[in-house]
């Protein structure tokens, strides 16, 4: 590992100027990258899926931590630099060229459990997160998500009832998983620096409550938070039977969505389903 050239040199040699269209903001600080790679715990000998390795800063940290890394990158300009890294770590890094939104990640990982780590491009981050958290099959094959988001999105994921950040993303992230803010990352840590602050969120699957359909829960939160200032008896009108069921399970339909605990949404979805 000590033989690897500095990242900035690799970037200059391969002409990897950061592309705005691809949401590229690179991290170079080795200590910070090692701290991010340590968030999921000991990765030694574990399978890791990294989305968007770019020139490979986080990839290096994952390899230093002993992980077996599969990395999906859609910017072909980054592939030569990643091949060099793969050569320095024989059989430890597999690079797949492609769009992570279009690939089946379980299949890419050969059907074996894996941790996901990523400094996500902001534009695809929420789409991937929603997909990872949204499947009917639970627990998923992935064992944890360690993801960089804009701080404001990270706050929405870990938010508790009663706050303005609490909404669909919080329920999605918390009804059958533990979601926590692992660390904040200052915008100056990136090259080029984005306009906003970032944060790392760490999510681990928990037991799924019985008798609840993920799709129905999603429909309920979409309706309830779609008109978050309205009372539930108004916002849930479009979901057949929801308002009556609220009363049956002892939730006042005059309340607004942001006052309900995650567990209240779970109880509603179970009773309605």
Tokens (6 digits) for 176: 């059958």
Is 71 or 203 the residue whose CB approaches ligand SAM more closely? Answer: 71
Q: Locate tokens 């990897």: which residue?
A: 16
| String marking each residue 88-117 x if it binds ligand SAM according to CB under 6 A | -----------xxx----------------
145 binds ligand SAM (CB under 6 A): no
Task: Specify the residue, 75 or 258, whose C-beta has the smaller distance to ligand SAM.
Answer: 75
Q: Which stretch binds ligand SAM (CB under 6 A): 23-31, 106-114, 240-248, 263-271?
A: 23-31
**Which residues, other chains included, contact 160 with Cβ-Cβ below 8 Å and sequence gap of 6+?**
166, 170
Is 137 one of the annotated binding-site residues? no
- Helices 30-38 & 57-64 angle (0-180, nearest 10): 60
Residue nearest to ligand SAM (CB): 52
Letters for 33-72 (x = contact with ligand SAM by CB under 6 A, - = none) are ------------------xxxx--xx-------------x
- Per CB under 6 A, 119 contacts ligand SAM: yes
125 binding ligand SAM? (CB under 6 A): no
d(CA 33, CA 25): 14
Nearest approach in angstroms of CB 75 to ligand SAM is 4
Q: Shortest Cβ distance from residue 187 to ligand SAM (Å)?
A: 12
Whose structure tokens read 């944060």? 199
Contacts of 101 (CB under 8 A, 6+ apart): 124, 127, 128
Smallest gap from residue 54 Cβ to ligand SAM (A): 3
What token pair was written down for 131?
Answer: 């997909």
Alpha-helical segments (H) within 75-149: 79-88, 105-108, 122-134
Q: Token pair of 66, please?
A: 């002993």
Whole-number Cα distances in Å, 235 to 37, 38, 82, 142, 161: 42, 42, 49, 34, 17
For residue 174, the 8-state DSSP code is: H
- Rule CB under 6 A: say whether 26 interacts with ligand SAM: yes
Q: Are 28 and 54 in contact (CB under 8 A)?
A: no
132 binds ligand SAM (CB under 6 A): no
Q: Among all chains, which residue has been given the structure tokens 């692992």? A: 182
Quote the least distance from Cβ 236 to ligand SAM, whole Å. Answer: 34
Closer residue to ligand SAM in complex, CB, 64/255: 64
Of 201, 39, 41, 212, the residue nearest 132 (C-alpha): 201
**Count of residues that interact with ligand SAM, criterion CB under 6 A:** 23
**At its nearest, how many Å lie between ligand SAM and the CB of residue 165?**
23
Q: Is 261 annotated as a binding residue?
A: no
Q: Interior CA angle at 176 toward 171 and 177, to 5°?
A: 90
Annotated binding site: 25, 27, 52, 73, 99, 119
Residues forming the site for ligand SAM (CB under 6 A): 22-27, 51-54, 57-58, 72-75, 78, 99-101, 119, 121, 124
Annotated binding site for S-adenosyl-L-methionine: 25, 27, 52, 73, 99, 119
């Amino acid at each position: 590992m000590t033989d690897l050239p500095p990242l900035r040199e690799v970037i200059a040699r391969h002409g990897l100027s950061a592309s705005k269209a691809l949401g590229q903001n690179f991290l170079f600080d080795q200590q910070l990258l090692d701290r991010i790679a340590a968030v999921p715990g000991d990765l030694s000998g574990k399978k890791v899926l990294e989305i968007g390795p770019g020139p490979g800063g986080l990839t290096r940290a994952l390899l230093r931590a002993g992980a077996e890394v599969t990395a999906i990158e859609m910017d072909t300009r980054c592939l030569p630099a990643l091949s060099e890294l793969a050569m320095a770590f024989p059989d430890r890094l597999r690079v797949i060229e492609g769009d992570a939104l279009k690939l089946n990640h379980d299949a890419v990982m050969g059907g074996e459990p894996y941790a996901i780590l990523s400094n996500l491009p902001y534009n695809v981050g929420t789409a991937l997160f929603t997909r990872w958290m949204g499947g009917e099959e639970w627990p998923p094959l992935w064992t944890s998500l360690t993801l960089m988001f804009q701080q404001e999105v990270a706050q929405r994921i870990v938010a508790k009832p009663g706050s303005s950040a609490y909404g669909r993303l919080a329920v999605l992230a918390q009804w059958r998983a533990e979601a926590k803010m692992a660390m904040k990352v200052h915008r100056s840590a990136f090259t080029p620096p984005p306009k906003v602050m970032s944060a790392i969120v760490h999510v681990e699957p928990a037991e799924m409550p019985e008798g609840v359909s993920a799709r129905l829960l999603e429909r309920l939160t979409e309706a309830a938070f779609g008109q978050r200032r309205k009372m539930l008896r108004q916002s849930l009108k479009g979901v057949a039977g929801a308002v009556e069921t609220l009363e049956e399970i002892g939730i006042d339909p005059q309340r607004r969505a942001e006052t309900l605990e995650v567990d209240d949404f779970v109880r509603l979805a179970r009773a309605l389903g």
